[in-house]
Amino acid sequence: MSQQHSPTFYHVCFVVPDIPAAMAELTELAQVQWNEPTAAVLEEWSYTIVFSRQFPFIELISGPPGSPWDATSGPRFDHLGWWSESLNSTACRWTTHGAEPRYDGRPAGRSFAYFFAPTIGENIEVVDTERQHDFLNNWTTPDARHPMPYLNEEDAP
């Protein structure tokens, strides 16, 4: 491999209807430390998102009905997220190997995509490493801002 560490997922995401309640519960049960939730908009969807401060990160997200983060049916596990040196190549490889595209943020100017992995029955996400610097600056403390491992398509089977 051409990178120092093996690629691993960097976050796990849960869609929840009540972000403050989910944060409080995970803080109480597992001493998770959180950043402040942030409101954002993607396409026509307003949503709220927050990440924990520890690696691997926990993402909590809540969006309106019809969005990828629709929480009207209650909380759920949503996806595991990986960084990739080439979002386009990883998306192509994942599709070739049977992952089903679920949502692609690229047409909306975002460097991520969700895929359904049928054998595990859940979504996986790939995010281009070009976003890693901003992620680290927005969601981690200065002492935790270290480059994270990523998928390198040159090393893929």
Which CATH number does the domain housing residue 129 bear? 3.10.180.10
Cis peptide preceding 56, ω within 30 of 0:
yes
Residue 6 covered by a domain:
no
Question: Is position 85 within any domain?
Answer: yes
Task: Please check whether residue 76 lies inside any domain of the structure.
Answer: yes
Range of the domain at 55: 11-143
Return left, alpha or beta for 121; rule: phi > 0 is left, psi -120 to 50 is alpha, else beta. left
117 in any annotated domain:
yes
**74 φ, ψ (degrees, to nearest 5):** 105, 175
pTM, rounded to two decimals: 0.91
Tens-digit pLDDT profile for the chain (157 aa)? 344 457 789 999 999 999 999 999 999 999 999 999 999 999 999 999 999 998 899 999 999 999 999 999 999 999 999 999 999 999 999 999 999 999 999 999 999 999 999 999 999 999 999 999 999 999 988 888 888 989 987 777 6
What are the distances in angstroms from CA 80 to CA 33, 47, 56, 60, 74? Answer: 19, 19, 10, 12, 19
Q: Give domain status of residue 95, yes or no.
A: yes
The maximal CA–CA distance of the chain, rounded, in angstroms, is 43
Q: Encoding tokens for residue 60?
A: 């909590």
Distance CA 36, CA 141 (A): 12
Encoding tokens for residue 10? 């960097």
Structural domain contains residue 43:
yes
Contacts 24+ apart (CB under 8 A), 110-114: 110/42, 111/87, 112/81, 112/87, 113/87, 114/68, 114/79
In 3D, which of 58, 49, 48 has the Cα closest to residue 27?
A: 58
Residue 101 lies in a domain: yes
DSSP, collapsed to helix, strand or coil, labels residue 126 as strand
Residue 155 resides in a domain = no
Here the tokens at position 101 are 């595209």
Total domains in the fold of the chain: 1
CA angle 151, 152, 155 (to 5 degrees): 120
